[in-house]
Structure 1
């Protein structure tokens, strides 16, 4: 892990534990984003809505806000005929978040969101490692120019793609954080185990500021992932940014089952499990985040949670854990999959 000084490490040193923001996509859909529409194009057509979401998260108590640039590589933007605007869109994403952060009256970190390219790297696909690095460099250069504090590499499945993005951040001269999505039997879709989270890029540049997990299936599962990561690397700064309960289809719309009370309990368990940066992913609204802020501020440290405690307080696991899968089964922990 990195020991270099930057805005994120400074704020961690000052506060100990930080609250990251909630969902981008879910909340933009509530603001009118249409299915199939690129959220990044709203940076030009509806910048005031992006600024409002950042402001609402800051008002709810977020210490870290992530830019609206998750799909900001040329590979994603080409699907919306915007591959030639990578630098401009990412710069704008960071500028909007930076403006909100700078007027907060307290330190707020701007994480430049960097999601997967959506392409498979050789030998599974056609994307070379070098081309992946180049695509991430192009994106991160825009984020840096717009004022992002840190490259926030998230929802990753491939160890090689994590490393490519981390190498790109280092080339651009930005500190970086990375998180995987452990949504397949307790591992990422490409087989990365939570205990091995530092292996893909722990040695790139000065190392990551923080590593961890986001998205996945539900709050229970990401807490199980947290226990694996903190057991393997007790000194690491671990991020968890879990989904707000479980996605459920109601007609053609997706709703998330998590209440503010459930997400507050998730924060308490995450803190006791060793997480240093805690936030929400899909389905997490500003109301959820307010409850999470209150829970973090009022929390009295308790014992490290067990899997049984997580099930009791949050609900059943939706996946087998990685450990159970390796052991060839184990006791059933609720329905598997995304539900």
Structure 2
């Protein structure tokens, strides 16, 4: 699956298993980001906060840090009247992360975060495939100019949008990974089954360095998706970047139930299930990540878990699994996700 050498492949080959970072959004909200505010604007307005975000994750043991650019396409930025600043905001996102990575005491990968555009592709919406490729090229060019080493395509639900982003990465000259969000009865909102993730863009360029899942609903659910992904292609390098335990509403606030010990156990189970890149999404702080680092560093191989084992150790599934669920409706979420 991994073709030509690149920094992410090299580090994966050297270390075997990598720890990705935690939640961007949760961390920035804790620093004062307002609901509805674009995190990407902080790359210029409050770069010291973004530096701290990355530094905290590196200090906690992350091998991979994701740039603050999840909503960095023109389609997302136009909601904040910043659609003409795509290149500079993404470049700054990558420069800030790369500066932190370059002074780390070990190799740390700077991954350029590329989230969904929030638009629906033809025939469900107005955006053509070519428009999507162009938008992702514009974003990824900025990320590459700032020093990103890999395009990290994440939280996707549409296979066509994954392909468009992968094609853009190849055009720009960056290796790429991609992850789906299996948040609708065990599949993506557009009906993609976890076992089918590998084939979505395997023919584009040299193929992905890694594929997998992020976000979704809870840590147990993403581990269930992981079992499907590793079963369908045991040789693939698979990413799992799950939310911190189970999200629960407390009044108007979302609270994540995961403790550092629970997320450490999640990391061990992910390793037992065959993941090669393990991180956290919404709710995952540097304290959670530090516990996951220790869990991976002291890892003792266990049996491949069953769904029952996952539920027993991490907590109940929030959704049906993909194998027992009906097909998802053909519609896609347009809202912002991640962290």
TM-score calculated relative to the size of structure 1 = 0.96
Residue matched to 1:187: 187
Aligned length: 327
C-alpha distance in 1, partners of 2:200/2:117?
A: 17
C-alpha distance in 2, partners of 1:10/1:44?
A: 32
Q: Counterparts of 1:27-66 in structure 2 under 5 Å?
A: 27-66=27-66
Residue matched to 2:152: 152
Q: Is the 8 A contact 2:2 2:9 kept in 1?
A: no
Give the C-alpha shift of residue 258 in structure 1: 0.5
1:277-308 CA-to-partner distances (Å, cap 9, x unmatched) read 00000000000000000001001011100111
Residue matched to 1:115: 115
1:14-73 CA-to-partner distances (Å, cap 9, x unmatched) read 100000000000010000000000000001110000000000000000000000000000
Give the C-alpha shift of residue 326 in structure 1: 5.0
Is the aligned partner of 1:273 residue 2:270? Answer: no
Specify the SS of the correspondent of 1:269.
helix
Specify the SS of the correspondent of 2:324.
helix
Q: Counterparts of 1:65-76 in structure 2 under 5 Å?
A: 65-76=65-76
C-alpha distance in 2, partners of 1:239/1:270?
A: 9
Specify the SS of the correspondent of 1:316.
coil
Residue matched to 1:321: 321
Is the aligned partner of 1:282 residue 2:278? Answer: no
Residue matched to 2:13: 13
Q: Which runs of 4+ in 1 moved over 4 A?
A: none
- Structure 2 unmatched ranges of 5 or more: 328-339
RMSD between superposed Cα atoms in Å: 0.8
Q: Is the 8 A contact 2:186 2:320 kept in 1?
A: yes
Specify the SS of the correspondent of 1:188.
coil
Q: Counterparts of 1:1-339 in structure 2 under 5 Å?
A: 1-326=1-326
C-alpha distance in 2, partners of 1:252/1:305?
A: 35
Q: Is the 8 A contact 2:155 2:179 kept in 1?
A: yes
Give the C-alpha shift of residue 263 in structure 1: 0.3
Specify the SS of the correspondent of 1:324.
coil
C-alpha distance in 1, partners of 2:223/2:113?
A: 22
C-alpha distance in 1, partners of 2:249/2:317?
A: 19
Give the C-alpha shift of residue 249 in structure 1: 1.9
Identify which of structures 1 and 2 has the higher relative contact order when contacts are C-alpha pairs closer than 8 Å and 6+ apart. Answer: 2
Give the C-alpha shift of residue 200 in structure 1: 1.5
TM-score calculated relative to the size of structure 2 = 0.96
Give the C-alpha shift of residue 227 in structure 1: 0.3
